[in-house]
């Protein structure tokens, strides 16, 4: 990775924060303006590439591409989500949850209990979801629909957020006395319950036994967060962050085809210090490796993520090991290799490090400063010697002869697949949310992927891993 090295000052290491920075504008105006932007963009491409033929097919961006250019992809497209909102102060957060679900392409139908309507208006949820909001069992509707049955049957998932002590108690006791509890009784879809309440209520043994009972029956729960509560008490009882609820929904709705696999993934750059203040590094943001960890988790794999210093949130449920230098990454990989069935090396590891790092800050002199470099451990070569039946996937980043050099690396290091990165194309390589790669196998086949969100690239790599794994079983 020495081709892309940059020298930097040591700055505070931003090991993964749980949340990305909040976005501006969580309101209907923003959604309308995003929608308008999308429609204008779609019209633009229709006008310019609207004819038939090759140019149109290659040039017109897909819906998910347009969404990803504006920061998101339609992961929940075609999914029907029934969102139940019950009467607690955290009900206002359901507005953001609705917005995030809709942003990802989901159809969201909201059911509010009567108490929930005291905390947030149905009009807010109707505007954000773009669908009628249901608040009452017995409201006449023009379409002859029996709402609790049609909502229950159409749902791919029912999410209750926030779920109060009272609602959880009702569901656990089989009480169905309003539209939400009746819909929950009638659905065969997975139900995700996100409790939010005062910490003493959250600790109450009656609630605990209700959660245990419902969990045993297959209902899914998210743990409440801790911190200062609306009642000023400190403790557990906060509604999980809406982004984490969305992630949980996406995980639940993803087929668990990697269940049973234990996947070790490396990500991010390494830093090689030449004094306590400065180091050699590269431009890797970790996005490709973290996308692999995220998608592998969603698909049911047990994931260990070994990462150099980056500022990305650790995918929920992944085991995380933070490292800094190539030699720390090597030690972490060797420590965790034993149980792994798949190893994916997406990290941009420095090939060279200063031979004799100084103990104190190097003073600026009058002339030039020469630093002698030595090789870092070649982690993938070492892994290759211990490979056994494990599936080994490497990455290659080249500025010339990409395929030829990638093939040579794959052969020399005994990989089952190599993912060759296009450098220099817009939207590809370091830092971007998107990538353009070629997946090469030892038989010489080259699968060329177009510009895609890194999460979609990750999915395609994992599909290939699964194929190799299935072929090995046969």
DSSP string, 34-47: HHHHHHHHHHHHHH
Q: Confirm or reject binding of residue 90 to ligand PMT (CB under 6 A).
A: no
Give the residue, chosen from 125, 288, 436, 451, that forms a contact with ligand PMT under the rule CB under 6 A.
Answer: 288
Q: Does 376 bind ligand PMT (CB under 6 A)?
A: yes
Strands 272-273 and 278-281: antiparallel
Among 129, 135, 164, 421, binds ligand PMT (CB under 6 A): 421
Pairwise CA distance, residues 114 & 84, whole Å: 11
Residue 299 Cβ vs ligand PMT, minimum distance, rounded to whole Å:
19
Could you tell me how many helices (H) and strands (E) the chain has, helices first?
Answer: 17, 23
Identity of the residue, 278 or 409, whose beta carbon is nearer to ligand PMT in the bound complex? 409
CB of residue 391 vs ligand PMT: minimum separation in angstroms?
Answer: 14
Q: Using the rule CB under 6 A, which residue among 129, 281, 284, 304 binds ligand PMT?
A: 284
Please report whether residue 348 would count as binding ligand PMT according to CB under 6 A.
yes
Q: How far apart are CA 35 and CA 13, in angstroms?
A: 37
Among candidate residues 308, 318, 295, 304, the one with its CA nearest the CA of residue 267: 308
- The CB-side HSE value for 229 (13 A sphere, CA atoms) comes to 20
Q: Which is nearer to ligand PMT, 297 or 353 (CB)?
A: 353
Cα distance between residue 353 and residue 372, in whole Å: 8
Among 76, 318, 347, 436, binds ligand PMT (CB under 6 A): 347
Measured CA to CA, the distance from residue 165 to residue 467 in angstroms comes to: 46
Token representation of residue 320 = 């995380």
**What's the CA gap between 103 and 465, in Å, rounded?**
30
Q: How many residues bind ligand PMT (CB under 6 A)?
A: 26
Between 102 and 349, name the residue whose CB sits nearer to ligand PMT: 349
Min CB(17)–ligand PMT separation in Å: 17
Closest to ligand PMT by CB, 86 or 284: 284
**Which CB sits closer to ligand PMT, 326 or 462?**
326
Of 377-406, which residues contact ligand PMT (CB under 6 A)?
378-380, 394-397
- Candidates 287, 299, 353, 455: give the one binding ligand PMT (CB under 6 A): 287
Site string for ligand PMT, 422-461 (x = CB under 6 A): -------xxx------------------------------
What's the min distance (Å) between Cβ of 15 and ligand PMT?
A: 15
CB of 87: closest distance to ligand PMT in angstroms? 43
Residue number with CB closer to ligand PMT (1 or 168)? 1
Q: Is 1 in the site for ligand PMT (CB under 6 A)?
A: yes
Q: In this structure, what are the phi and psi dihedrals at residue 433, rounded to the nearest 5 degrees?
A: -80, -15
Stretch that binds ligand PMT, among 6-14, 74-82, 106-114, 341-349 (CB under 6 A): 341-349
Shortest spacing between CB 271 and ligand PMT, in angstroms: 13
Question: Active site residue: 5, 68, 194, 231, which one?
Answer: 231
Output 171 or 280, the one with its CB closest to ligand PMT: 280
C-beta separation of 317 from 295 below 8 A: no
Q: Does 342 bind ligand PMT (CB under 6 A)?
A: no
Burial of residue 355 (CB within 10 Å: 0-12, 13-18, 19+) is exposed
Alpha-carbon distances of 229 from 168, 204, 243, rounded to whole Å: 19, 16, 19
- Give the position of tokens 């990803």: 68
Phi, psi of 199 (to 5 degrees): -65, -35
CB of 321 to ligand PMT, least distance (A): 15
Residue 346 in the binding site for ligand PMT (CB under 6 A):
yes
Position 112 contacts ligand PMT (CB under 6 A): no
Rounded Cα distance, 241 and 150, in Å: 29
The residues with which 366 forms a beta bridge, in sequence order, are none
- 407 touching ligand PMT, by CB under 6 A: no
Q: Is the dihedral of CA 88, 89, 95, 97 positive or negative?
A: negative
> Which residues are CB-neighbours of 451 under 8 A, at least 6 positions away?
65, 425, 427, 428, 434, 435, 436
Q: Is residue 326 close enough to count as binding ligand PMT by CB under 6 A?
A: yes
Distance, CA of 94 to CA of 100 (rounded, Å): 10
SS3 446: strand
Does residue 356 interact with ligand PMT by CB under 6 A?
no
Cβ distance to ligand PMT smaller for residue 191 or 349: 349
Question: Who's near 202: CB < 8 A, 6+ residues apart?
Answer: 195, 224, 235, 236, 237
Quote the DSSP letter at residue 384: H
Give 16 or 286: the residue with its C-beta nearer to ligand PMT.
Answer: 286
Q: Is 5 assigned a catalytic role?
A: no
Q: List the catalytic residues.
A: 231
Contact residues for ligand PMT, defined by CB under 6 A: 1, 284-288, 326, 345-349, 351, 376, 378-380, 394-397, 409, 421, 429-431
């Amino acid at each position: 990775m020495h081709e892309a090295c940059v020298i930097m000052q040591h700055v505070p290491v931003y090991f993964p924060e749980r949340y990305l920075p909040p976005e501006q504008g969580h309101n209907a105006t923003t959604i309308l303006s995003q929608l308008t932007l999308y429609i204008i963009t779609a019209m633009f491409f229709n006008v310019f590439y609207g004819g038939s033929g090759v140019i149109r097919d290659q040039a017109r961006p897909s819906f998910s591409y347009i969404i990803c250019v504006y920061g998101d992809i339609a992961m929940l497209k075609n999914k029907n989500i029934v969102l139940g909102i019950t009467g607690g102060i955290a009900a206002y957060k359901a507005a953001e949850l609705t917005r995030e679900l809709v942003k990802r392409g989901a159809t969201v139908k909201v059911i509010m209990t009567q108490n929930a309507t005291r905390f947030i208006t149905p009009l807010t949820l109707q505007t954000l979801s773009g669908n009628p909001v249901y608040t009452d069992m017995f409201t006449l509707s023009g379409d002859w629909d029996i709402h609790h049955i049609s909502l229950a049957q159409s749902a791919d998932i029912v999410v209750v957020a926030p779920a109060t002590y009272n609602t959880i108690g009702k569901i656990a006791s089989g009480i169905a006395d309003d539209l939400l509890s009746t819909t929950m009784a009638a659905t065969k879809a997975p139900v995700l319950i996100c409790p939010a309440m005062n910490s003493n209520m959250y600790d109450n043994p009656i609630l605990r036994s209700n959660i245990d009972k419902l969990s045993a029956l297959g209902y899914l729960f998210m743990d409440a967060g801790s911190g200062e509560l609306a009642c000023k008490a400190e403790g557990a009882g906060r509604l999980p962050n809406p982004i984490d609820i969305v992630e949980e929904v996406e995980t639940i709705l993803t087929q668990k085809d990697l269940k049973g696999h234990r996947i070790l993934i490396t990500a991010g750059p390494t830093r090689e210090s030449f004094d306590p203040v400065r180091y050699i590094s590269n431009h890797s943001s970790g996005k490709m490796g973290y996308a692999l960890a995220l998608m592998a988790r969603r698909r049911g794999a047990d994931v260990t993520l070994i990462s150099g210093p980056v500022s990305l949130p650790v995918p929920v449920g992944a085991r995380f090991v933070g490292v800094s230098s190539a030699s720390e990454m090597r030690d972490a990989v060797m420590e965790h290799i034993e149980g792994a069935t798949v190893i994916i090396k997406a990290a941009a590891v420095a090939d060279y490090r200063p031979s004799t790092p100084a103990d104190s800050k190097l003073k600026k002199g009058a002339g030039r400063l020469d630093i002698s470099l030595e090789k870092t451990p070649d982690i993938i070569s070492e892994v290759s010697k211990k490979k056994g039946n494990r599936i080994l996937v490497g990455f290659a980043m080249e500025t010339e002869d990409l395929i030829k050099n990638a093939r040579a690396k794959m052969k020399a290091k005994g990989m089952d697949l190599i993912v060759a990165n296009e450098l220099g194309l817009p939207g590809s390589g370091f830092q971007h949310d998107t990538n353009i790669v070629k997946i090469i196998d030892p038989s010489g086949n080259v699968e060329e992927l177009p510009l895609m969100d890194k999460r979609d690239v990750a999915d395609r790599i994992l599909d290939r891993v699964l194929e190799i794994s299935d072929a090995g079983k046969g």
